Amino acid sequence: MGKPQSSIPRHRDPGEQQPRAYPYASGGWGSVKAVTHILVQEKAVLRDLRILPHQNKPDGFMCVSCSWAKPAHPHTFEFCENGAKATAWDTTSKRADRAFFERHTVTELLGWHDHDIEDAGRLTEPMRYDENSDRYVPVSWDAAFEAIGAELRALDPDSVVFYSSGRASLETSYMLQLFARMYGTNNMPDSSNMCHESTSVGLTQAIGVGVGTVGLDDFEHTDLMFFFGQNVGTNSPRMLHQLQDARRRGVPIITFNPLREPGLISFANPQSPRDMLLPGDTKISTQYHQLRPGGDSAVLAGMCKVVIEAHDEAMALGGADILDTAFIRDHTTGFEDFANWARSAKWHDIERYSGLPRESIEEAARAYMQAKAVIAHYGMGMTQHRLGVQNVRLLCNLLFLRGNIGKPGAGPSPVRGHSNVQGQRTVGITEKPELAPLDQLARQFNFEPPREAGFNTVEAFEAMIDGRVRAVVNLGGNLVRAVPDRVRTEPAWRNLGLTVNIATKLNRSHLIHGRQAWLLPCLSRIEIDRTGGREQVVSMEDSTARFHGSRGVAEPASAHIRSEPFIVAGLARATLRERSTVDWRAWSEAYSLVRDEIAQTWPDVFHDFEKRMWTPGGFMRPLPARERMWKTKSGKAEFHVPESLDEDPDMPGSEPGALRLMTLRADGQFNTTIYDLDDRFRGVHGSRMVLLMNREDMDERGVETGDRITLCTVANDGILREVAGLAAMPYDVPRGCLGGYYPECNPLLPLWHYAKESKVPAAKSIPVRVVAVEKPGKR
Ligand SMILES: Nc1nc2c(c(=O)[nH]1)N[C@H]1C(S)=C(S)[C@@H](COP(=O)(O)OP(=O)(O)OC[C@H]3O[C@@H](n4cnc5c(=O)[nH]c(N)nc54)[C@H](O)[C@@H]3O)O[C@H]1N2
Ligand SMILES: Nc1nc2c(c(=O)[nH]1)N[C@H]1C(S)=C(S)[C@@H](COP(=O)(O)OP(=O)(O)OC[C@H]3O[C@@H](n4cnc5c(=O)[nH]c(N)nc54)[C@H](O)[C@@H]3O)O[C@H]1N2
Ligand SMILES: [Mo]
C-alpha cells in the first residue's frame, strides 16, 4: 500500500527513535539546511528562489504560513524556514491530476500516510466522487456548481455547515459569509474555534476588543516580555527578529512553558552572516519556568498576589506605589474584589496547581514590578484548556495592575495561527450573530439574514454525530484530522450527504467523504490570479490587526483551477439563483467591488481600502483598547475573579497513574499538513509517533527509550479512546506530564473536553493513562 516514490522514509520503525538534543540555536545553519531540503523535495528550487524574495513584501504576496506582522521595512528575505517550506509546498511541481486519480481509488488513498496524501501535489481540476469506480473523476466547473447548488437548495440551511480554515483572503471570506447568510444559516465555524477563540471571548470581556493591542512598534518600547505557551521558534519564527532586537537592548524575556523548548532558549538569525559565524547565540528566555500543563491560571494569580501584597506593604511603610493606582481608578472595574481574592489565595494551592515553587513565581513577579512597559505574548498553551478563557482574563488582570495596556511597549499579544484567521472574523465569518453587522448587511443587500446562533466547530460535530448536520462546505482545512474524538467524528463525517471541499491539495478529509463529494481546486495566494482577464489582488489581516494587500507572483499550478472568490461566487450563484441581489459574477471578476462593499459595511475600519491596502507595514484597524477606551459592558477594563485554579475539575485526571498529555506541533508541519517527519528543535527525527516523557515517570512504569506505548483517555464516559505505537522518549517535561503530536494524538481528546465559554478543545491537557508497554527489542 502507499506510494512507492515517496520522497521521505515512511513509517520508519519508531523504535529506532533516539533522542538527540538539537545542537543549534533556532534559526542558524539547521534552518538553512531545512529550507534547502524542502525545495529539493518539492522539486521547486529554481522557481522558488525567484519567488521567496517577494514573500511578505509590501508589493508581494503575504506568506501562507503564520500570521505574524509584516514590517514596513522588511529584511531582504522576510521569511523564515517554515514560511519557505509553506511556499515550496504550494509551488511544488508535483500534481494530483486526473491521471493520479485514475491510478488510485479512494479506498487505496485512505491507506496512505497524511504526508503522502498531500505530497501527491496540487489538485488540477474540479472532481466529483464516483461511487461505481470508487474514484474522484473530472467534472466541469459549471456542472459542479449546478449539482452542488441543487443539493444545497434541497437541504434545510441549518443542516449545512460552512467551515473556513483561516487562510482565505478578506474578499473570499466576506463573500462566503454573505452567501451562507443569504442561503439562510449562521453555521460558520472556523479554525479559530479550535485556536484563539478563548482570546476572542476573554479579551472582549476584559478590554472590549477580541484581538491583541500590540504592534511591531511596541517592541522598541517594551522593557519586559512574557511568553505563555507559545513556541515562537517553530510557529512564528519571523517574530524572532523583533525578539532578538529587544534582547540586544537588554529586555528580559520570561517564559512559562512545561516543556523546555529549544526554540525559546536561543536564536541565531540565518539571514545575518554575523550571527551565523559567531558561536555565541543570543539567549532568548532570561527566566524559564516549567509549570505544569494547565498551571497558567495559578501562575498568573500568584504573580498578581505578589504584586498586590508588595503594594500593600509599600503603602504600610509609606513607600511608593507599586500598582498603577491612577490607571486602576480611572480605567478599571472590579479591582477590589480581585485584590481581596488574591490576598486570600493560598500559596499551597498556587504551588499545587501551577506545579511551580513560590520562589519561581516571586522571581517572575519581581521582574514584572521593575518593568515600566510589559508585553505578554501567548499561544495555544493558554487557550486550549478548560479554563482557557480564564487564563486570558487573568493575564489581563496582571497587565492592568501596572497599567500595561494602551501605552507604548505594553499589552496583551495573542500570537495568532493561520495567516488570515483574524481577518476572517473581522469581515463577518462567525457563528455568533451578535458579532456580525446583520442590520447593515440586511440594508446593504436587501435581504433578511438569519438571527439565530450557528454552530461553532465542536457544536457542528455534535450535530453531525446526532444527524442534524447533513452537509459541509469547507473553505480549506482538514477537519477530520484537526478535530477531537476521531472514533466518533470520522464516522459522522462519512455519514454526511454532501461534502464540498475548496482546496489546494488533497487531504484525508476529502477521502472520508459524504455520499456526494466534490473537490474544487483553488489557486494559492502565491499564484498570479487572472480571474476575469486581469490581474486580481487580495488582502488579509495579520496578528497585530494590520491589513495588507497581497499580489501573486507564481504561475498557477494548472490552467483549470480557479480563485477562491470565483469558486465561492459560482456556488452562491448556482445555489441562490434569483433569491440573491448580488451580482456574484461581477464581484468575482473585479475583487475591488468586494472591497468596496466591505468598506461600506465597516467604514470606520476599511475606508479608502483600495488605496490603503498597499501601505508598507499595513494599515491598522481601530483598536479602542489601545487608546484606553473600553468597549466592555461596564465601559471600563474589567478585572476578573477566577472561579478555580484547578484546570480540570470535571476530568478524573487526578486519579492515580493518570498523566496529562499536551498535543504539540513539530517544526516539520503546518497543522495537519506534514512537510516531513522531523522536529529538529526537539531532536525528534523520522517519526511523529513519539511520546515525550519525564524520565522518572518512565522509570516508575519500567519504560525504556524506544518502548512502544499505548495511551488511553481517562474519561469514564464509556467510550474507549486509544492511541498505540508511540515510541517513548525521555524529555525535559515536569513529572506527570506528556508531550505528543497533533494530529496523531487527536483520537484521545474527547469532543466534550473543551474550554468553558469558548469551546476551544482542551488539547493541551488530556488526562491519559499508559495501558500497555511493548518492548520492541525483546520480542
Ligand atoms: N510551523 C508551523 N507554524 C505554525 C503552525 C504549525 O502547525 N506549524 N500552526 C499555526 C497555528 S494555526 C497556530 S494556532 C499557531 C500555534 O502556535 P503555538 O501557540 O505556539 O501552539 P503549539 O505549538 O500547539 O503549542 C505552544 C506551546 O504551548 C506549550 N504548552 C502546552 N501546554 C501548556 C500549558 O498548559 N501552559 C503553558 N504556559 N504552555 C503550554 C507547549 O509546550 C508549546 O511550546 O502556530 C501557527 N504557526
Ligand atoms: N489535538 C490538537 N488539535 C488541534 C490543535 C492542537 O494544537 N492540538 N490545534 C487546532 C488549531 S490551533 C487549528 S487552527 C486547527 C487547524 O485545522 P484546519 O484549519 O482544519 O487544518 P489545516 O491543517 O490548517 O488545513 C490544511 C488544508 O487546507 C487546505 N489549504 C491549504 N491552503 C489553502 C488555500 O490557500 N485555500 C484553500 N481553500 N485551502 C487550502 C489544504 O487542502 C490543506 O490540506 O487544528 C486544531 N486542532
Ligand atoms: Mo490555530
Ligand 1 centroid from CA 671, angstroms: 10
| pLDDT exceeds 70 at position 12 | no
- Ligand 1 pocket residues where CB is under 6 Å: 65-66, 82, 195, 228-231, 234-236, 256-259, 261, 291, 293-294, 296, 379-381, 417-418, 662, 664-665, 667, 669-671, 764
The reported pLDDT for the residue numbered 263 is 81
Q: Which residues surround ligand 3, an ion (CB under 5 A)?
A: 195, 417
For 394-424, the pLDDT digits (tens) are 999 999 999 999 999 999 999 999 999 999 9
User: And the C-alpha cell for 482?
Assistant: 484537526
Average pLDDT over the chain, rounded to an integer: 91
Residue with cell 440586511: 442
Query: Does ligand 2 come within 6 angstroms of the Cβ of 524?
Result: yes
Contact 49, 76 (CB under 8 A): no
Confidence of residue 377 (pLDDT cuts 50, 70, 90): very high
Give the contacts of 229 (CB within 8 A, at least 6 positions apart). Answer: 256, 257, 296, 378, 379, 380, 381, 382, 383, 764
CA dist., res. 625 & res. 221, Å (int): 18
Tell me what pLDDT residue 272 has.
Answer: 53
The highest-confidence range among 8-22, 647-661, 667-681, by mean pLDDT, is 667-681
Mean pLDDT of 55-61: 82
383 Cα–ligand 1 center, Å: 10
Q: What is the pLDDT of residue 17?
A: 37
| pLDDT at 49 (0 to 100) | 65
Q: Give the model confidence (pLDDT) of 267-318 as tens digits.
A: 665 555 455 444 445 688 999 999 999 999 999 999 999 999 999 999 999 9
In the chain, ranges of CATH 3.40.50.740 domains: 95-193+420-602
Q: What is the pLDDT of residue 77?
A: 67
742 Cβ closer than 6 Å to some ligand 2 atom:
yes
pLDDT at 29 over 60: no
Q: What is the 3-state secondary structure (H, E, C) of 511-568?
A: HCCCCEEEEEEECCCCECECHHHCCECEEEECCCCEEEEECCCECCCCCCCECHHHHH
Nearest ligand (C-alpha, residue 525):
2
pLDDT one-digit tens code per residue, 518-545 = 999 999 999 999 999 999 999 999 999 9
Mean pLDDT of 138-163: 98
550 lines ligand 2 (CB under 6 A): no
Ligand 3: centre distance to CA 421 (Å): 8
> Residue 221: pLDDT band by 50, 70, 90 thresholds?
very high
Neighbours of 526 (CB within 10 A): 27
The pLDDT of 365-393, averaged and rounded, is 98
Burial of 646 (0-12, 13-18, 19+ CB in 10 A): middle
> HEC states along 305-337?
HHHHHHHHHHHHCCCCCCCCHHHHHHHEECHHH
| CB proximity list for 209: less than 8 A, separation 6 or greater | 203, 623, 624, 625, 631
Contact of 773 with 707, CB cutoff 8 Å: yes
With residue 254 as reference, give the H or E element that holds it: strand 253-256
**Span 722-729, average pLDDT:** 97
pLDDT grade for 1, boundaries at 50, 70 and 90: very low
Candidate of 114, 119, 122, 194 to mutate for ligand 2, largest count of ligand atoms within 8 Å of Cβ: 194
For atom 32 of ligand 1, the residue with the nearest CA is 381
pLDDT for 430? 97
* Cα 170 from chain centre: 17
Q: What's the one-letter identity of residue 155? A: L
CB 507 less than 6 A from any atom of ligand 2? yes
pLDDT at 654: 61
Query: Angle 586-592-594 (CA atoms, 0-180°, nearest 5)?
Result: 65
- pLDDT over 60 (residue 617): yes
pLDDT at 20 over 60: no
As a whole number of Å, the end-to-end CA separation of the chain is 25
Identify the pLDDT of residue 18.
39
**pLDDT for 695:** 97
Nearest residue (CA) to ligand 2, atom 10: 194
Helix (H, G, I), strand (E, B) or coil at 201: helix
Within the chain, what is the greatest distance between any pair of CA atoms? Answer: 85
DSSP H or E segment with residue 351: helix 347-354
* pLDDT tens sequence across 689-702: 999 999 999 999 99
What pLDDT, on the 0 to 100 scale, is given for residue 59?
80
Q: How far apart are CA 768 and CA 722, in angstroms?
A: 9
Which whole number is the average pLDDT over 661-676? Answer: 95
Does the pLDDT at position 129 exceed 90?
Answer: yes
Q: Which CATH superfamily is domain 197-415 in?
A: Dimethylsulfoxide Reductase, domain 2 (3.40.228.10)
Q: Which residue blocks in 507-608 are alpha helix, DSSP H?
A: 508-511, 564-576, 584-589, 591-601, 603-606
Question: How confident is the model at residue 779, as a pLDDT?
Answer: 55
> How close is the Cα of 773 to the center of ligand 1, in Å?
28
Mean predicted confidence (pLDDT) in 368-391: 98
> Angle 31-34-36 (CA atoms, 0-180°, nearest 5)?
110
Q: Domain 95-193+420-602 falls in which CATH fold?
A: Rossmann fold (3.40.50)
Quick one: residue 431, left, alpha or beta (phi over 0 = left, psi -120 to 50 = alpha)? alpha
* Ligand 2 neighbourhood includes 463 CB (under 6 angstroms): no
Mean pLDDT on 198-215: 97
Identify the sign of the CA torsion 291, 295, 299, 302: negative
Q: Scanning the structure block, which residue is given the C-alpha cell 477521502?
A: 511
198 CB under 6 A from ligand 2? no
What span, in angstroms and rounded, lies between the C-alpha atoms of 244 and 265?
12
Ligand 2 in contact with 672 (CB < 6 A)? Answer: yes
Chain region(s) in the chain for CATH 3.40.228.10: 197-415
Q: Which residues have a Cβ under 8 Å from the Cβ of 92 and sit 6 or more positions away?
A: 42, 43, 44, 121, 122
| Alpha carbon distance 597, 174 (integer Å) | 9
Region 429-441 average pLDDT: 97
Would the CA dihedral through 696, 702, 707, 708 be positive or negative?
Answer: negative
CA dist., res. 646 & res. 726, Å (int): 28
HEC per residue, 133-188: CCEEEECCHHHHHHHHHHHHHHCCHHHEEEEECCCCCHHHHHHHHHHHHHHCCCCC
Q: Which of 172, 385, 456, 478 to mutate to test the pocket of ligand 2 (most atoms within 8 A of CB)?
A: 478
Q: Give residue 458's pLDDT band: very low, low, confident or very high (50, 70, 90).
A: very high
The pLDDT assigned to 740 comes to: 98
Cis peptide before 743 (omega within 30 of 0): yes
Residues across the chain: 779
C-alpha cell of residue 449:
439574514
Of the two residues 86 and 124, the one the predictor is more confident about is 124
Closest by Cα among 276, 335, 339 to 306: 339
Q: Are 647 and 295 in contact (CB under 8 A)?
A: yes
Residue 679 CA to ligand 1 centre (angstroms): 13
Report the predicted TM-score, pTM, of the whole model to 2 decimal places: 0.94
Orientation angle between helical segments 28-41 and 81-90, nearest 10 degrees: 0
Of 190, 179, 167, 155, the C-alpha closest to 514 is 155
Query: According to the model, what pLDDT value does residue 85 have?
Result: 86
pLDDT of residue 53: 79
> What mean pLDDT comes out for the span 140-158?
98
How much of the chain, in percent, has pLDDT values that exceed 70? 91
Half-sphere CA count of 284, side-chain side, radius 13 A:
27
Euclidean distance between CA atoms 493 and 507, whole angstroms: 14
Rounded to the nearest whole angstrom, what is the distance from the C-alpha of residue 740 to the centroid of ligand 1?
A: 12
Q: Which amino acid is at 411?
A: G
